[in-house]
């Protein structure tokens, strides 16, 4: 058994609670689906947002997902680097798995595909 990190990121159009929560749920659901994981396999989820997202904690969306109530979550701010991608939510899902690093599928949606084009799939929304 290995501990692996699964990266994910998405963006929102507005600093709006519902939009942030919806985008976070959509991102985590795709990470779950792409990697075939269940909450029991998750060690923790580290969530970051850019400083322009202040309407809510994205972790709130994860806490509302069935089966995720006991998964440890932590939110933080991204480093405010000039020219960095705005209105971005990032997830680092740490999972216990038998998968190799090469088998892990990272998920980048919307404008966040620009963060890691080498890991982004063309089919991501």
Average pLDDT, the chain: 91
Please give the helix or strand (H or E) that residue 49 lies within, else none: strand 42-49
Position 124 scores a pLDDT of: 40
> What confidence tens digit (pLDDT) does each residue in 37-91 have?
999 999 999 999 999 999 999 999 999 999 999 999 999 999 989 999 999 999 9
User: Residue 117's pLDDT band (boundaries 50, 70, 90)?
Assistant: confident
Non-local CB neighbours of 66 within 8 Å, separated by 6+ positions: none
């Amino acid at each position: 058994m290995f501990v692996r990190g699964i990266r994910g990121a998405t963006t929102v159009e507005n600093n709006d609670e519902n939009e942030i929560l919806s985008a976070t749920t959509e991102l985590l659901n795709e990470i779950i689906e792409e990697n075939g994981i269940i909450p029991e396999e998750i060690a923790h989820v580290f969530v970051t947002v850019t400083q322009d997202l202040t309407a809510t904690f994205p972790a709130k969306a994860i806490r509302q997902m069935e089966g995720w109530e006991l998964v440890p979550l932590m939110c933080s701010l991204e480093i405010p680097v000039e020219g960095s991608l705005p209105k971005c939510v990032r997830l680092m899902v740490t999972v216990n798995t038998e998968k190799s690093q090469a088998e892990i599928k990272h998920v980048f949606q919307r404008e966040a595909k620009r963060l890691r084009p080498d890991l982004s799939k063309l089919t991501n929304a």
